[in-house]
Amino acid sequence: MSYDNLIKCARCGGDACYVQEVNESITNYMCYGCGFQTNSLMKKGEEFFEQQMETLPDLYKELMGEDDEGKIWMPTVINLPSKGMVFANGTRADNWKWSSVKAVPVKEEEKEKYPIPNKKGEYYEWRMDMSTITHYDEKDFVDALDFIGIFDKQEIEE
């Protein structure tokens, strides 16, 4: 049985933590208050956690924190190809912000600069426009999402 639910965030204490049960052994947690995420496999000693540690940027590793149940929370990356991207950006845990960039259509004359890996002859339709980068304080994750239009009424109705 799967469920979706809002609970109190074990990381920040806010009331905007979205819980989604994927199956009997995996539950995802995404807090829209603090912008951090975890799941039932993000615990020290779990293979999934160890795989994440091999590929994550140093900043994300520094920002990780463990809750009372042993789940490790880390910053979320939101990447909506036709909207934009929100990510933690900075040099160290004591010097970072949320960053948002908007997506723009790839111009026909530029498409060869944006090939889709392992799909010969196919190209991305959207790219992230780094000239639109905007920074938000740690507590302003929702504002960073709003910048890329994640809450636009049209998106919600679709």
CA distance 6 to 1: 17
pLDDT tens digits, one per residue of 53-75: 999 999 999 999 999 999 999 99
CA distance 84 to 137: 18
Query: How confident is the model over 33-55, as a mean pLDDT?
Result: 94
pLDDT tens digits, one per residue of 87-110: 999 999 999 999 999 999 999 999
CA dihedral defined by 118, 128, 76, 56, rounded to 10 degrees? 50
Would you state the pLDDT for residue 40? 93
Q: Has residue 17 got a pLDDT over 70?
A: yes
Spacing of C-alpha 126 from chain mean position: 18
> How high does pLDDT run on average in the chain?
92
Tokens of 98: 């949320």
The domain total for the chain is 2
Check whether residue 71 and residue 88 sit in a common domain. no
Q: Has residue 156 got a pLDDT over 90?
A: no
CA distance 82 to 85: 9
Tokens of 120: 């010969």
Check whether residue 111 and residue 150 sit in a common domain. yes
Band (pLDDT 50/70/90 cuts) for residue 152 is confident
Band (pLDDT 50/70/90 cuts) for residue 46 is very high
State which of 58, 75, 92 marks the end of a domain.
75
Spacing of C-alpha 11 from chain mean position: 16
Check whether residue 110 and residue 54 sit in a common domain. no
Check whether residue 115 and residue 140 sit in a common domain. yes
Give the sheet arrangement for strand 4-7, strand by strand. Answer: 4-7, 17-21, 27-31, 36-39, 72-75, 65-66
Burial 149-158 (b: 16+ CB within 10 A, else e): bbeeeeeeee
Would you state the pLDDT for residue 155? 47
Would you state the pLDDT for residue 151? 86
CA distance 102 to 120: 26
Check whether residue 65 and residue 51 sit in a common domain. yes
Q: What percent of the chain has pLDDT over 90?
A: 89
Check whether residue 150 and residue 90 sit in a common domain. yes
Domain of 31, in residue numbers = 4-75
CA distance 132 to 149: 13
Query: By the 8 A CB rule, do 100 and 136 touch?
Result: yes
